[in-house]
Structure 1
């Protein structure tokens, strides 16, 4: 009983510290120690094995996925500093008009994240333009958070097949699937997330206008002119080239296999056997091409790339330490009881699986952390129940992107910090598009998978 209470105390403390802006690396270590002590776990072994070097250890995860984090951060830095990301957003402004500010933000963020730009970079890249557009359209700033969260943190991160996000890569290392696994479910789920999310944002925009609620900047906001934003940027077509290269490089081996081309090719065999390394290579390749294409990067290519690699350290450490905390939790009796209860709940396997990953992601406040824990501790149980690996891959990734975005989620806290808003001001909109909408989309897809 003490162990279970200690486990709950550790989880509650992690959430409490995250909500108060405590560094997640520090918080994860402290909360892991609480769980170790209250569960009577061998301190040294738990700290240096379960937390750091075990199957769910922080350093084990960091070593396994370092190249992907670094490649994504480098690509994000190159796309940001070259103003290619801004160019894509401005092209949407020209096509749709500034009055479609929310649509522009969602589509721009979606294009960038599906092309491999990491979420934190996307927020920084589109925020100045978002402020300008929302001011012109007199749309409340809280809806900017909702639009960015929908575009950068939902359908392109977990649902659409082929995305090089860490969430889409993690299951491949356990299931032997590829990044396009469960494509039909992903396309349906992604369409539902986008559609319901936009319906909600547009409804809120109209309600705000009817209630006289308009745009109010934060004291620290600098709202640039569109001419200022547009300076020194490549054409929109040129800006899209690196994004297309990332997806094209990832897709090429699969298309070659489907068309019966390149049989026996060492490159195709290598790509299919390297679910982490191949997307990393795609991102690096696109970064090099971008450095050649864009003058802003061509003037300082090595500096931009090295700064991008540095950008990967904190997101990687934050994710890794949450997973290290999960490694400690996974070795407690309480967690094993949860695993057994989920597997033997009597619910249909797909529904039970969705509930299990949702709870784990919600507890950790991290979809990637929840995925790694689930894949290491529960995936085999559900495969043994007869779930198709491709369906398991897509549904568990989609489900991980729901309750992970509760108020203590690190990405949510970072976005609110960047935008200068509080949970009270903006979380309702963020929560609707990143928790409620993905949960609905996932349940619909679970239902379809059970029928078909």
Structure 2
């Protein structure tokens, strides 16, 4: 009983103190060791830190550092080349100012589906959204919801092939790839997109009908850099995104399945199988090709391409170390005897492993405030068991993959989520002003989409 209390106290403090702004790099090991201490494990504090926490942190870095690194560099190059802003402006012009919310959502969706970091997208799209909303008299408080819908939801967890890190994490556990359960992913993604847009548009129309306008906002923090006269055309700006998606599919379905990878059985390569690494390899190759393309195509227009590469590289370090620390924390908790109580409770929620998996990933993503961190903890501790249960029930690993990824993108967007806090900061708005709509489009509606996908997957299998 004392051990369970220790876990709950540790988790509660982790969530509260992260919300208060203390970095997870500091919090995660301290809170992990606090749970060990309360459970009576004073004599194993140091071994737990060095042999479990740091080992699991390092293991996560080994698996996913290339994706964080390449994704951050790709996003920075898309931003500095003017491509991100060019795409957003083109969509706004085509969709129309009267459909400002849809234009912002689609701009964010295309950019994030192409591999651009959601933080880069928020910085690039916010100035456009602010100018557009001000011009049509739409309340500014709906901008964060529109950016969150386009960046945190359907392109992060549902649409097949997305290079988001969340979509790559289940691959080594289930032997799947980023295109797992494409039909169900599309259905879930469309529910999020359509449901979210309808919600925001209805809310905005009611507010405007009641006489609410853009509002008075001092010190908006609008980014005026980037002369669009020197930005690439929409087609050139979009090409890197198409390359990421296209080459990801090409290497996933054509190139890697047809190579002789028997050498992977050698212990020096981890004694693994091609199915466990092909999904990661495909995204890595696709991002590298797209990065080289951006650098070459815009060669004459770079102010300082080395600075862009270096800034992107440094920008990848904090996110991956934060997430890896959360993974280390989760594995310390999973090593405690008291965790068996939690594990059995989650596994006993439903005989359907899809439901149990969804609950586990949602709870851990909510506690950590991180989609990738929560899912990594859940799959590293329960993934093998879910795969075993799924095989026994005739459930496809691809379906397990899609449910895990979609589950990670629901409760992760609670108020203490780092991306939510950053987005509100960029928009110069508060939780009180804008969080309710963020909650609806990035928690409630994605949960509804998840229920539909689990129901369809249970009835008809993976497709």
| SS of equivalent residue, structure 2 residue 338 | helix
Structure 2 matches for 1:328-367, cutoff 5 A?
328-367=332-371
Whole-Å Cα distance in 1 between the matches of residues 99 and 429 of structure 2? 22
1:258-287: per-residue Cα shift (whole Å, max 9, x none)?
Answer: xxx995578xx9986432233122112101
Question: Relative to 1, partners in 2 of residues 1:438 and 1:158: Cα closer, same or farther, differing over 3 Å?
Answer: same
8 Å CA contact 2:177–2:278 kept in 1: the answer is no
Whole-Å Cα distance in 2 between the matches of residues 115 and 147 of structure 1? 18
Whole-Å Cα distance in 1 between the matches of residues 227 and 208 of structure 2? 27
Q: Do structure 1's residue 286 and structure 2's residue 284 form an aligned pair?
A: no
Aligned to 2:17: 17
Aligned to 1:125: 124
8 Å CA contact 2:252–2:282 kept in 1: the answer is no
Measured on the aligned residues, the alpha-carbon RMSD in Å equals 2.2
1:150-203: per-residue Cα shift (whole Å, max 9, x none)?
Answer: 100100000011011111111111111111111111011001010110111111
Aligned length: 443
Aligned to 2:77: 78
| SS of equivalent residue, structure 1 residue 275 | helix
Question: Relative to 1, partners in 2 of residues 1:280 and 1:423: Cα closer, same or farther, differing over 3 Å?
Answer: same
Gaps of 5+ in 2: 265-272
Question: Relative to 1, partners in 2 of residues 1:59 and 1:228: Cα closer, same or farther, differing over 3 Å?
Answer: closer
Greater alpha carbon shift after TM alignment, 269-278 vs 406-415 = 269-278
| SS of equivalent residue, structure 1 residue 330 | helix
Whole-Å Cα distance in 2 between the matches of residues 171 and 446 of structure 1? 17
The alpha carbon displacement at 1:430 in A equals: 0.5
| SS of equivalent residue, structure 1 residue 26 | helix
Q: Do structure 1's residue 416 and structure 2's residue 424 form an aligned pair?
A: yes
Aligned to 2:439: 431
| SS of equivalent residue, structure 2 residue 220 | coil
Question: Relative to 1, partners in 2 of residues 1:216 and 1:296: Cα closer, same or farther, differing over 3 Å?
Answer: farther
Q: Do structure 1's residue 317 and structure 2's residue 315 form an aligned pair?
A: no
Greater alpha carbon shift after TM alignment, 36-45 vs 76-85 = 36-45
Q: 2:383 aligns with which of 379, 385, 390?
A: 379
Whole-Å Cα distance in 2 between the matches of residues 321 and 223 of structure 1? 33
The alpha carbon displacement at 1:22 in A equals: 2.0
Q: 1:402 aligns with which of 403, 406, 410?
A: 410
| SS of equivalent residue, structure 1 residue 18 | helix
Aligned to 1:143: 142
Q: Do structure 1's residue 43 and structure 2's residue 45 form an aligned pair?
A: yes
Aligned to 1:182: 181
Aligned to 1:243: 241
Gaps of 5+ in 1: none
The alpha carbon displacement at 1:353 in A equals: 2.0
8 Å CA contact 2:410–2:447 kept in 1: the answer is yes
Whole-Å Cα distance in 2 between the matches of residues 372 and 224 of structure 1? 35
1:387-422: per-residue Cα shift (whole Å, max 9, x none)?
Answer: 310100011110111011111111111212222222
The alpha carbon displacement at 1:355 in A equals: 1.4
1:199-256: per-residue Cα shift (whole Å, max 9, x none)?
Answer: 111111111102222213543214478x976242100011001000011110113443
Whole-Å Cα distance in 1 between the matches of residues 210 and 20 of structure 2? 32
Aligned to 1:301: 305
Question: Relative to 1, partners in 2 of residues 1:285 and 1:140: Cα closer, same or farther, differing over 3 Å?
Answer: same
Runs of 4 or more above 6 Å deviation: 269-272
8 Å CA contact 2:168–2:279 kept in 1: the answer is yes
8 Å CA contact 1:326–1:364 kept in 2: the answer is no
Whole-Å Cα distance in 1 between the matches of residues 3 and 452 of structure 2? 37
Question: TM-score, with normalisation over the residues of structure 1?
Answer: 0.93
1:355-382: per-residue Cα shift (whole Å, max 9, x none)?
Answer: 1221121111111011111211112222
Greater alpha carbon shift after TM alignment, 84-93 vs 134-143 = 134-143
8 Å CA contact 2:248–2:285 kept in 1: the answer is no
Greater alpha carbon shift after TM alignment, 43-52 vs 241-250 = 43-52
Aligned to 1:449: 457
1:337-356: per-residue Cα shift (whole Å, max 9, x none)?
Answer: 12112223344222222112
Structure 2 matches for 1:255-274, cutoff 5 A?
255-256=253-254, 263-264=258-259, 273-274=277-278
The alpha carbon displacement at 1:297 in A equals: 5.5
8 Å CA contact 1:292–1:298 kept in 2: the answer is no
8 Å CA contact 2:60–2:324 kept in 1: the answer is yes
